[in-house]
Amino acid sequence: MNSSLVEAPPLAAAPDLAGLEPVEKIRRRWPMILGGALTLLMIVGLARELFGSGLAGLSKAVPVHPLFYVAFALYYLGPPTFDYVIFRRLWNIPAAGIAALHKKRISNEVLLGYSGEAYFYAWARQRTQMVAAPFGAVKDVMILSAMAGNAVTLLVVVIALPLGINLLTPEQQQGAWLSIGAILLMSLPFLIFSKRVFSLPKASLWWIFGVHCARIIAGSLLIAFAWHFAMPEVPVGMWLLLSAGRLLVWRLPLIPNKELVFATFAIMLIGQDQALSELMALIAALTLVVHVALIGGFSVHALLTRNKA
């Protein structure tokens, strides 16, 4: 009997191809997964600070001057608003993008530095019809933000350090000079290899750099006026000097114990140790409260929008 006529054994049941997802479809989900994971981490981080000592500053007397809250609100809204101006010009993002930029800011402050950029990149990748390749622009804006911070810090150093160098201990003076050198060294590679580092046109890069400089200067002015309206007995000029000192302390990389250095400088300049400490704790607590309120509001809005869809 011809073996070719022998009936072959039945094949095992093939899997249902309809239940399998293409690899490309799975890959397209990663921005949504990353964005959702970072949002959950933000909520966990905020809850940890909320139930820790984050709200201790609210137990003290709060300022009664209404302009304090106006200045604080403008100071808080500054970073995402300036970012929105940048990405509105680059990508023409809708007004809804301001929520993603607030989350970017909160992630950077509550989680790890630049985790907010990862969140915003994932948000942009979910909207590929808005921008085809968002990585280059997000990278350029992030680098220019750091370079603008370095440039403004060096400008403040040139103006303020000759006036305040005697307020620092010899160790702190050495750290300040080393930090200035470190800032210059960190900025040089981006200037030397700018054509390989940056993706955007030169005109856009200079414009973004200018917007970042304006953001940093505006933030320093607004926090100084918020401090002044909280403690009006101290002249606003003193608060402006303290704001410049705050920028220096937090931007210079090789200054140890930044909180202690800033507190020492503030007490020497302003005095009123207890009142000043309470004011700083109050602003930190108010910032945390607004973070929590915004994340809660954005989460509720996302749930309602999803249900309607």
Which of 264, 269, 152 lies closest to 216, judged by CA? 152
Question: For residue 52, is pLDDT > 80?
Answer: no
Phi/psi-derived region of residue 240, left when phi > 0, alpha when psi is between -120 and 50, beta in every other case: alpha
Write out pLDDT tens, residues 263-309: 777 777 777 777 888 888 888 888 888 998 898 888 887 777 776 65
CA distances 79 to 14, 38, 43, 125, 136, Å, are 55, 19, 20, 22, 20
Which of 209, 197, 103, 105 lies closest to 148, judged by CA? 209
Find the angle CA(7)-CA(12)-CA(13) to the nearest 5 degrees. 120
Residue at 89 is within a domain: no
Residue at 271 is within a domain: yes
Residue at 6 is within a domain: no
Write out pLDDT tens, residues 160-213: 666 666 666 677 666 667 777 777 787 787 778 778 889 899 999 999 999 999
Residue at 39 is within a domain: no
Confidence of residue 53 (pLDDT cuts 50, 70, 90): low
Domain count, the chain: 1
* Single-letter code of the amino acid located at 95: A
Return the pLDDT at 23.
Answer: 43
Write out pLDDT tens, residues 35-51: 667 777 777 777 776 66
Q: Which range in 44-48, 56-60, 108-112, 285-289 is most confidently predicted, on average pLDDT?
A: 285-289
Residue at 63 is within a domain: no
Overall size of the chain counted in residues: 309
Report how far residue 101's alpha carbon sits from residue 84's, in angstroms, rounded to the nearest whole number. 7
Question: What range defines the domain where residue 187 resides?
Answer: 133-308
CA distances 94 to 28, 84, 127, 130, 234, Å, are 22, 9, 11, 9, 42
